[in-house]
Chains A and B, each alone.
Chain A
């Protein structure tokens, strides 16, 4: 089993402007995803995120902490949610991501597991 983080991007306002029928489509997509992941692996967590316009980015510059309002990467698509899952391989992760609502762009990232001393495991 490998651990993947699925970052979900969608255009802001897509949900707000969706019709009741379209919203049902979103709900069905997530339900199908959940069932598939349960069958082939397991879901560790997953959640929608508050808008990127409410994000705060923390950096250090010249030894001082600097806060900026907003996400660290500006783009049209914003990360609006995530799933943290365990699945056998990338093919299965792609299959799972394909079940999510088609309005999303889903970025699949392999999670690197580290031991207590910071060494990569496996």
Chain B
């Protein structure tokens, strides 16, 4: 990684926050920083890299913003009061990582991007762009939309921030918890986008999903909070399996068939330590925190089992039963039925699926699998066929077809 790549990857959000604190103009700040990076790309060499790359970028961006403000003031035929005022408040020589002041600005940026008045997907994309410094192309790839669609989505979110007056501010203590929940939800949306089935296996999308963990981690460091902590655990545990999820032929590998040696065990250890630490604190502060905690505990059960046969499905089934009370949904019920089937047999799992209604291919797929295990071959084939007709992902459909064909004609 070059010094420029490093500073963009690690300091982007701080640079945006610092400039936004001074100028309050999100449109100018992002453009100016982008131009500063382009200039750096063209002029920095191994021999001539500034001692303080972040400081260099901020200074270059600040100059561009002042130029633009002057041009705007001229165009409006106004006295350039705004420009003069901005120039009178110089922050020249500010170290980018100079502690709590910049930390507060970064938290303001995180909260502004994940504001509840923004559409969740727009907030998610904007956070990756402004806090994490991801390119619009990468964010588009993560969310499986064309780049122009993503650019429009990000532009719209920025426009709303400016037009509606979404503040660059930290709310009072009574409101901050709720706002951090939105930050968590925003990060998780980006994470799950990276693991949503696409047209084919795309390892880069899994890597990009890792940026969502960094986003939640940044927010958690700025303002430690149990919702964010449990979410970081949950995402880290899921993400630790990324290399084992894809087989040599590019096919999706199910959890039970994964080579557990290819899991990132260092990440698992860190996540389990954070889980233990957070779980020893006070009871979860919100329903969202409770929900992430239970899902993190399920992921921890999987991560702690040396082989699939060691999985404590009885514990996982109990965790899902509690999760169903905290946040009931057909998806949770189906996950619980799978766990119960593993712990108590296919019939017990099937009983939990009675009367469940859920769109998509997953419900008939699970029902078909459990019917097959229970020996109801005819019904199993019918359910799997239904599932295949509803499945729009090539890799999953091939898996389902293979399963159906194993059951005979």
Contacts and interface: CB of A to CB of B under 8 A. Distances in A.
Nearest to A89: B167
Contact of A93 (B76, B165, B169, B171): B165
A119 interface: yes
Nearest to A88: B167
Interface string A80-108: 00000000111101100000000000001
A108 B117 CA distance: 10
Which DSSP category, helix, strand, loop or mixed, fits chain B's interface? Answer: loop
Contact of A108 (B164, B167, B171): B164
B165 A110 contact: yes
B276 interface: no
B164 A110 contact: yes
B114 to A, nearest CB: 13
Interface residues of A, number: 11
B382 to A, nearest CB: 42
A2 interface: yes
B164 A90 contact: yes
Contacts, number: 24
A91 B170 CA distance: 10
B166 A90 contact: yes
Interface residues on B, range: 10 to 19
A110 to B, nearest CB: 5
Contacts of A90: 115, 117, 164-167
Contacts of B166: 89-91
A2 B117 contact: no
Interface in B44-77: 76
Contact of B167 (A4, A91, A110): A91
A89 B117 contact: no
B171 A110 contact: no
A118 to B, nearest CB: 13
Interface string B165-196: 11101010000000000000000000000000
A95 B164 CA distance: 14
B163 interface: yes
A88 B168 CA distance: 11
A2 B115 CA distance: 18
Contacts of A108: 164
A117 B25 CA distance: 24
Interface in B319-356: none
Contacts of A2: 165
Nearest to A109: B164
A4 B169 CA distance: 19
B36 to A, nearest CB: 26
Nearest to B82: A122
A119 B76 CA distance: 8
A89 B169 contact: yes
- From B117, B164, B166, B169, name the one whose CB has the most chain A CB atoms within 10 angstroms: B164
Contacts of A89: 165-167, 169
Interface of B: 76, 115, 117, 163-167, 169, 171
Interface of A: 2, 4, 88-91, 93-94, 108, 110, 119
- Listed from nearest, the 6 A-B pairs whose CB atoms lie closest are A89-B167, A2-B165, A90-B165, A89-B165, A90-B166, A90-B164
